[in-house]
Structure 1
């Protein structure tokens, strides 16, 4: 499963980090003489929405996605070229009418097992609309342990980096030497009533292999090699079956636990992707927020004290000795008698007075 990602690069930096071998005939990936080329950035209108770098990207956000340039050009020199496009995370059903945000389906992930049976994903796959979603890493919550959703431990998962590179510390790397995590996906194009287009995608997932099964039962299809990238993107020359064969469980991943700050998608702080032990503690509230927080605390304290007083009074009442009706305190006790009992006493006294009066007569 993949429900949140991290990508803090600007468009130009994304292109630099997404360089690919110029020749389709791949050499050894360690061959330093291999020539690399930058992909082209294709900025679509997408109903006025733009990509924004973020430490905490969620479904419905716009992110950079790699596709084959052959989707937009028939030129021979573009058959193996790559293009980076901003698309919305969460595929919009082609048949949906109205507000694109209200189709009511959860489409941020596409299960590989049901891909060919899905009305939503089968069409884009058969049309060769295969893409690669790039990020510095994705966030995952440990669901293999029983715990409330808010109490699950969160992790940032990423591909192994060079020894001096710390993925959570941008001062240790540059777009030229960072290794982005690349996930296989499918994209589609949706049009509103005015004919304006929105590009959107879903990330393909399958059952977790041993490398991630301790954390979650699902994992994204991660493309580790350039050969896998080519096989997935090249819809002109690579069949559907060959493309699916390129989707294999990752063999090498790294991760570290992060703070629960990432649980809320509105939190975009740079603390989101830092290791749990290095993440800064939340600042104490200031101004009006501090007053409201302090006032709430005082109310809770007063409520607690009030409860303690009531409990002491109740205990004192239970433990108090029974009073003698003939004692001076009898009058005080009588004040607590039921109203009906007081009325009976008054009637008895009135009757006694009448009897005495008749006796004198």
Structure 2
């Protein structure tokens, strides 16, 4: 487990936070930039150079040197270790420092640079593998204990065929101090030393066991347990040191994050922000929110008003009214204007009548077939067709002009005995 964590802070920032927030003294730290500078990443992977907090000791670890002085190689190793070790306080007080190391422990006896697969096997160390004084961890657990500094770590939950990454951090916002082991190796034919580290894991606490059965050993910042773990005077393994490797009892914050963190090489501050958070730029819900101006939601155009309101100088200022209100106010005015508009004239059309294109009747007593001009239209409206029939029912034919042409339209004579009792169906039999 714990194959990925987050540390996007510079060494100076880590130093400041440990000293100010956790009361953890730091007398030396790597530069923010340069050859010895650690990597800053929200997606910290094995093989990266991270930051380790440890007590100042020789490269062989705490306590007397394990090498025998009767061999030339051992003597050279001791001299080199003493030359590279920092100066100790004259009062005997333990001094602590931040150091750049590579994630993935390489034992000091290794002669050649291991491949990536071998390195992955030593990124974590199980706490139950440290009970007995045997195996590759024996020298490290006795003399080379350290604290791995992180902002938080990732763990994946299996959901069917998919794996959902979760980010775990301290709820109080402090840096996470994970118990670890370190070592120093120098390959054959190379003059430069390599410092590497591993993270110790234990059983998960109640908060995290739904996600994974194991978690890093997290020690409280500046606590007595942390000082005991780093004490260089304790250079033999004991039950007291073993008892420190337990589940974290503090409060953790756990939430799902972007799946992009699963690919090594990806790096983004969104990786430590919850997926459902509005702060996460990759959250699709953000695409459906309305933009804001001056901290207030932007009103739609239909909500604008056109009313007068007092301005800063006591004068009335105009603001736009809703478009719906404007249309309601303007609609009756438009109808009136349509009624008042003059109609087109074509000479042969009587504008005193309705515009239904119906043929105009010929007044009684006038000669048929004579075209009427607009100047000859009487002031009074001629009697309607129904009135003329009631006055002179014996009139047999009324010749009118066609609605579509100037030709005379012929009509059949009405039968004297026809009183309108004929069935409508008779018209369809012809």
Q: TM-score, structure 2 length as denominator?
A: 0.53
Residue 240 of structure 1 deviates from its aligned partner by 2.7
- Give the conservation status (yes or no) of the 8 Å contact 1:111–1:205: yes
Aligned residue for 1:153? 164
User: Is the aligned partner of 1:99 residue 2:104?
Assistant: no
Aligned residue for 1:66? 53
Residue 222 of structure 1 deviates from its aligned partner by 0.5
Distance of aligned partners of 1:36 and 1:5 in 2 relative to their CA distance in 1, 3 Å threshold: closer
Residue 120 of structure 1 deviates from its aligned partner by 2.2
Larger RCO: 1 or 2 (CA < 8 Å, sep 6+): 1
Pairs within 5 Å for 1:1-361: 1-19=1-19, 37-42=25-30, 50-71=37-58, 72=85, 73-77=87-91, 79-101=93-115, 104-105=118-119, 106-115=121-130, 116=132, 119-126=135-142, 128-142=143-157, 145=158, 147-148=160-161, 151-161=162-172, 178-193=173-188, 194-225=190-221, 226-237=223-234, 240-241=237-238, 242-251=240-249, 252-278=251-277, 279-281=280-282
Aligned residue for 1:306? none
Residue 249 of structure 1 deviates from its aligned partner by 1.0
C-alpha distance in 1 between matches for 2:117 and 2:90: 38
Residue 238 of structure 1 deviates from its aligned partner by 7.6
Structure 2: unaligned runs, 5 residues or longer: 59-84, 285-430
Aligned residue for 2:394? none
- Give the conservation status (yes or no) of the 8 Å contact 1:19–1:39: no
C-alpha distance in 2 between matches for 1:59 and 1:188: 16
Residue 117 of structure 1 deviates from its aligned partner by 5.8
C-alpha distance in 2 between matches for 1:235 and 1:20: 24
Residue 199 of structure 1 deviates from its aligned partner by 0.3
Distance of aligned partners of 1:254 and 1:274 in 2 relative to their CA distance in 1, 3 Å threshold: same
What SS does structure 2 have at the residue aligned with 1:240?
A: coil
Residue 182 of structure 1 deviates from its aligned partner by 0.6
Greater share of helix: 1
Structure 1: unaligned runs, 5 residues or longer: 22-28, 30-34, 162-177, 284-361
Distance of aligned partners of 1:139 and 1:64 in 2 relative to their CA distance in 1, 3 Å threshold: same
What SS does structure 1 have at the residue aligned with 2:269?
A: coil
* Alignment RMSD (CA, Å): 2.7
What SS does structure 1 have at the residue aligned with 2:260?
A: helix
- Give the conservation status (yes or no) of the 8 Å contact 1:70–1:79: no
1:186-234 CA-to-partner distances (Å, cap 9, x unmatched) read 0000102223101000000112232211110111100025112101101
What SS does structure 2 have at the residue aligned with 1:65?
A: strand
Distance of aligned partners of 1:236 and 1:76 in 2 relative to their CA distance in 1, 3 Å threshold: farther
Residue 19 of structure 1 deviates from its aligned partner by 1.5
C-alpha distance in 1 between matches for 2:234 and 2:126: 24
Moved more, 50-59 or 11-20: 11-20
1:274-311 CA-to-partner distances (Å, cap 9, x unmatched) read 1112332399xxxxxxxxxxxxxxxxxxxxxxxxxxxx
1:260-280 CA-to-partner distances (Å, cap 9, x unmatched) read 011012101111111112332
Asked which structure has the greater CA Rg, the reply is 2
Residue 107 of structure 1 deviates from its aligned partner by 0.7
